[in-house]
Every structure is written in C-alpha cells, then in structure tokens.
Amino acid sequence: MGRDSGKETFTRDILFFGLFTKALLYSTYFSTDFEVHRNWLALTHNLPISKWYYEKTSEWTLDYPPFFAWFEWSMSWFAGLFDPEMLRVDNLNHASPNTILFQRITVLVSELLLFAAVCRFLSSFGYSYRNKAIAALIYLSPGFYFIDHIHFQYNGFLFGILVFSLVEMMRGNVLLSGALFSALLNFKHIYLYLAPAYFAYILKTYCFTARPRKKGASYSFSFSNLIKMGLVVVGIFGISLGPFVYYGQLGQLAVRLFPFKRGLCHAYWAPNFWALYSFLDRMLIQWYKVLGVSLNSEALESATRGIVGDIAYGILPTPTAGHTFQLTFLTQLPFMVSLFRRPSPDRFVGAVVLCGFSSFLFGWHVHEKAILLVIIPYNLLFGKTRASDHFLVILSIAGYFSLFPLLIEIPETPVKLVIFGLWNAIVLGITWRGGLYKKAAKASYCRWSEVGYLCGAFLIQFYSSIAHPALFGASRYEFLPLMLTSIYCAVGVLYSWLGFSWVYLTSQRGFIY
C-alpha cells in the first residue's frame, strides 16, 4: 500500500507541478506560430479537405502532414465556443483574449499525452530513483516550456507519441512501436530523420527470428512478420494520404511538406555543423578583405545564409540540399550497421539519438527547435553510464540555451534564465550526488567541464542582454549576439555527438558497460 501511494504521489506531483508552472506562462510573448495554428484551425474548419493544402490567404500555409491537419480540425469544433472570430480564414492575426486562452489551454491539454507516455515508462520499468529522474527530465523539459508554452507550438503531444513508441520498443512490442512511429510521421514529418534506427532494429529483431545454437544464434527471415509490419505501416499511411490520393493532390502535399527552396541555414543559425561552416566562411571573407582579395558581391551580402532562396559562400564551397542529405545518411550509417549487428533495446534508443544528432548537425535548413529530437530520447538513457550522462548534460546545456533567441521580448529574459538555471542545477545535482554512480568522485573532469560550459552560456547571455546594448546600442551589429550564441552552442552539440558516438560504437558489450 505504501509503495503504491508513493508512486501515485510522484506522478501526481510532477503532473500538477508541470501544469501549474506552464499555466503561469499564459500571458508571455508568443511568436508568429500562434497565428500559424489559428489559421490552420480556421481553414480546416471551413474548407473541404480538397482545399486544405491549396489555401493561401495567409502566408502561413498548412505544411504539416494530414494527421496534424485532422488534429487542428478536431480542435476547431471547440474553438468556436471560445471565440467564433478565430475561425474566419480571412481574420488574419486575430489574437483576442479568448483566442489566446483557447490556444494556451490546447497546448496544456494535448501535452497530457507526454505525461501519459512517461507514466507508461515508469509502470513498465519501475519507480526507481533513476526512472523518476528520467520521467521528470522529459515531462519538465525546458524545451517544452520555451517552445510550446511561450513561443507556441504543439511539440509536447508529438513527443508523447515518440516516447510511447520508444517505450513499447524497449518492452518488446515491436509491431505497436512501429505503428505509433508511422502515425507520428503523419503528424509531423521531421521525425523521418529517426526512421533509419527504426528500420535497422525492426529488420533485425522482428523480420529476422533468432534460433539458438551452440555457437551463438542463427537467424532466419520471417516473411510473415515482414507482411504484418508492412500492412500496419501501409494501412496507417493509407488512412492519412488516401483522401489526397483520391483528389490527385499528392504532388501539392509534397510541395507543402518539403519546401526545398529554403536556404541551408535559418535566419538564426541552428547550432550545428553548418553554423560553424558559415562562421568559418565569414572569418575567411574578413581575412581576404585584409589581404585585398576581391570577392563575389553576392557572398558578401549573404549574412544569414538563406532565409529563403539560393545561398552563396565567399570562400568555402557552397553545399546543396543533395550534399546535406548524403552527409546526413553517411553519418547515420555506422550506427545503423552497429545496431543491426548488436541489437538491444538500449542500443536502439542510442541509435535513435544518434540519427537525430546527424539530422540536426548536417541537415538542410535545420531549425534550432529540432534539437529536441536528440535531447528527449537521450533522456531515456540517463543514468546508464557516467560517460554518456556527461555528454547528455553538455548537450542539454547547449541545446536549451540555443533556444533563448526564440524568446525575444525583454520581459521573458528572467523567465527563461530562471527555468534554464534551475533545470541545470537540478540535473547537475542528480548526476553528481544522486547515488547513480559508485565511483562518482573520480568524475571530477566531467563535473568541472559541465560547470564551465554552463558558466560560459551565462556569460554569453550577459553579453547579449547587457554588454552588447551598452557597447553598440540596440540597432548596431544585431547579428553578433545571435552568432556568438549559435557558435558556442554548436561547439557543445558537436562535442556531445562525437563523444556519445564514441561511447556507442566502442563499447564491447553493446551500449551499456
């Protein structure tokens, strides 16, 4: 009775703490994504399905897969109870108090799916100290506070589906996990970057069946399992895409989902390899200027490297979308091969993390928000080894700090600093003194490198919010704080990728050692 009471108390506490603290952010700044989702509510409510992916009254056209469009459609029936005006397609930038209330509530309510997913994890693997820490790290992630409850998006419930899928795979329910992941792809196609890990693991553990023998195990291919998995995946995609096949709109759907005319980097460089590449090109341009070498004028004017349209580099070769896809796949390939050779539930989660790393570091037009594709599944491996936790802490510092430029209003500065500071203090406390490691005292290098990197983030924030305006004013060199943030975080992300890759590939007994 006491144990059950403790379990209920823990889950109740993190639920109410999360709901309460996130509800406090109701009146904070919200981005243009607020209008994006209001517009999607309106168009799915008023227009026939044949016009959803053609409607362009607003510049924020529908560019998520069909399941998310149906999600918006389902919410639109309740939206009219709050404010019917928000459901007018031509009522652009409508943000009445009732509209804001409805939108904020829907984020909170839909995120309960993420809470249900971490509860599923706890009920499946136990309420140990480590597992409770994992549940809290995921549900109370600063990324959801920043992106969903301030900036405004619906990532919480999408990651809830992902966590459910990962947990079911860890429990051995391969078919259910594949079904959940297929559904997730039809909610938001960015998760396609994680598909190689799913493919390698399902192929080896589900489509091949092991037969024990004296010297290891032999494998035989199971056509029945392949057919079952294929029917599930094709069935889910058929439900999602079927209406658009009927109307002959798959081409238009593809155009909306994959806008390759966007440039390599976003206006604010996501902290990845291409941010470092662009920074190096900028530095080389300045050096060539000192040397008096003439340069391409287009390259000199291309400061942000492509909000929309073609990109041009001054000194370094200009990458294309094809180059980024090839590089992403090639950096994912070693982990797919390693997973296929030595499959295990933990190594599967590790491969998902590393596929997310590759897509974030080397993908085309990556947004800083995509770092959650790496951090959230990585949290499921928290407490496995001191080495992997060290890289998780560095990655989390870099990833969450890189989200700061999303919250551009001055009143939100203390909010994001408090959330970021408290979260890091708790995580560092757990990893150092939580009893997860018998030889934690020998990990002094990890401890001080983590603290040092965290202090560097606060120094850059001090420069961005106080020192830079004092030195240059509000309108001069506006790009400089953003560039410093991007480069600093990119170093941390790249370091974490290299370190965790080494841990994953070199461990002799799989990921855990």
User: Rounded to whole angstroms, how far apart are CA atoms 73 and 155?
Assistant: 17
User: pLDDT for 229-270, tens place per residue?
Assistant: 999 999 999 999 999 999 888 999 998 988 766 677 776 788
Per residue in 290-342, pLDDT tens?
Answer: 777 766 655 555 544 444 445 678 788 888 888 999 999 999 999 999 999 99
- pLDDT higher than threshold 90 for residue 286: no
Q: How many angstroms separate the CA atoms of 454 and 309, rounded?
A: 36
Please check the confidence at residue 22 and state whether its pLDDT lies above 90.
yes
On the question of pLDDT at 16 being above 70, the answer is: yes
Q: Residue 321 has what pLDDT? A: 85
**What does the pLDDT read at residue 217?**
56
Alpha carbon distance 147, 176 (integer Å) = 29
C-alpha–C-alpha distance, residues 148 and 463, integer Å: 26
Q: For the residues 442-469, what does the mean pLDDT come to?
A: 82
Q: State the pLDDT at residue 296.
A: 62
Band (pLDDT 50/70/90 cuts) for residue 381 is: very high
Indicate whether 442 pLDDT > 60.
no
Q: Tell me the C-alpha distance between 415 and 25, whole Å.
A: 9
Q: Residues of the chain with pLDDT > 70: what percent? A: 88
pLDDT of residue 259: 72
Angle (CA) 193 198 202, round 5°: 160
Q: Are the C-beta atoms of 148 and 103 separated by less than 8 Å?
A: no
What's residue 305's pLDDT?
45
**How much of the chain, in percent, has pLDDT values that exceed 90?**
65
pLDDT confidence of residue 388: 87
Place of tokens 């970021």: 420
- Tokens 């890990």 appear where? 197
> According to the model, what pLDDT value does residue 486 have?
93
47-59 residue pLDDT tens: 999 999 999 999 8
Token representation of residue 313: 């580099």
pLDDT interval class at 212 (50, 70, 90): low
Which among 346, 399, 387, 425 is positioned nearest to 170, based on CA atoms?
Answer: 346
SS3 for 185?
A: helix
State residue 441's pLDDT score.
Answer: 44
Mean pLDDT, the chain, as a whole number? 88
Q: Where are the alpha helices (DSSP H) in 147-222?
A: 155-170, 174-185, 195-202
pLDDT tens digits along 131-167:
999 999 999 999 999 999 999 999 999 999 999 999 9
Residue 20 banded pLDDT, cuts 50, 70, 90: very high
Task: Please give the pLDDT value at position 440.
Answer: 44
pLDDT band at 65 (very low <50, low <70, confident <90, very high): very high
Distance CA 68, CA 12 (A): 29
Written as one letter, the residue type at 479 is: F
Average pLDDT of the residues in 118-124: 96
Give the best-scoring range by mean pLDDT among 289-303, 371-385, 462-476. Answer: 371-385
Q: What is the reported pLDDT for 308?
A: 46
What is residue 383's predicted lDDT score, i.e. its pLDDT? 86
Identify whether the C-beta of residue 138 lies closer than 8 Å to the C-beta of residue 132: no
**Structure confidence by residue, pLDDT tens digits, 334-368:** 999 999 999 999 999 999 999 999 999 999 888 89
- pLDDT band (50, 70, 90) for residue 443: low
The model's confidence at residue 386, banded by pLDDT at 50, 70 and 90, is: confident
Q: What is the pTM of this model?
A: 0.92
SS3 content of the chain, % helix, strand, coil (to 5): 70, 5, 25
CA–CA dist 303, 311 (Å, integer): 10
Kindly report, residue by residue over 408-430, the tens digit of the pLDDT: 888 889 999 999 999 988 888 88
CA quadruple 85, 90, 93, 96: dihedral, nearest 10: -10
Stretch 502-506: mean pLDDT: 91
Chain position carrying tokens 């797919």 = 336
228 pLDDT band, cuts 50/70/90, is very high
